[in-house]
A = this chain, B = another copy of it.
Amino acid sequence: MNEIAFDSRECGSCPIRHRAVCARCEPDELDILNNVKYYRNYEAGQPVLWAGDQMEFVASVVKGIASLSQTMEDGRTQMVGLLLPSDFIGRPGRDNAPFDVVAVSDLTICCFRKRPFEELLTTTPHIGSRLLEMTLDELDSAREWMLVLGRKTAREKIASLLAILARRDASLKKRPAVNGMAFELPLTREAMADYLGLTLETVSRQISALKKAGIISLEGKRRVVIPELEILLAETGDDVDGGLIP
């Protein structure tokens, strides 16, 4: 859930080869020719990996959004992570995907063959320690999300999700989150429900309620405006400082 970048300006568009791996950039054509690095595109809704699949690559999201999710036999599904641009996909040291990875929107990922990547991990210690740091951050966010799933009301859940998306959007655009900011909702009501442990009807109703209360407003169905950030944050149930929006 965190970019694996050391210096993102210095390098090209590929987070893995250029932003993560090489401290000094080399042209990546070589890697592409050697089939070590390659791009993949998916349409919204397409699966990238099913749980249990062999993973012959690690990857990094370049554009679009992917989800990590689990589905029970009877169809109940729970999203366990959202992967936004610069997020990392993969498990060095494991061969099989632990969860389903699905393109939520149109998606481009940059893949890097697993073996060469694992080589790099052993030969370049700071990559490993960066990866450990990222993994610990993801573990913390997963645990924070457990509070949302286990203890928050539907309204608090929606507010928490909107707060996270607002924050992500701001940081992606490299500007601070401010009152009056607007952003595109990249998820359908159903995807939100799967992330929050709710039904899509409840999601819709709570969004309507927040709108009616003046806490958010919508432009169309997918664009959210937040007149006052503090007021939205108050709805999350978190302490205003700390919590999901540091």
Chain A contact residues, CB within 8 Å of chain B: 52, 68, 70, 72-74, 76-78, 80-81, 91-94, 98-99, 121-122, 125, 128-129, 131-133, 135-136, 138-140, 142-147, 149-151, 196-197, 237-239, 242
Contacts and interface: CB of A to CB of B under 8 A. Distances in A.
Contact of A149 (B121, B138, B149): B149
Contacts of A80: 143-144, 146-147
A187 to B, nearest CB: 15
Given A81-B143, A197-B150, A91 B135 contact: no
7 contacts: A70-B146, A76-B151, A81-B143, A93-B133, A128-B128, A128-B132, A132-B135
Given A93-B129, A129-B128, A139-B138, A237 B72 contact: yes
A125 B120 CA distance: 13
A73 B156 CA distance: 14
A26 B1 CA distance: 39
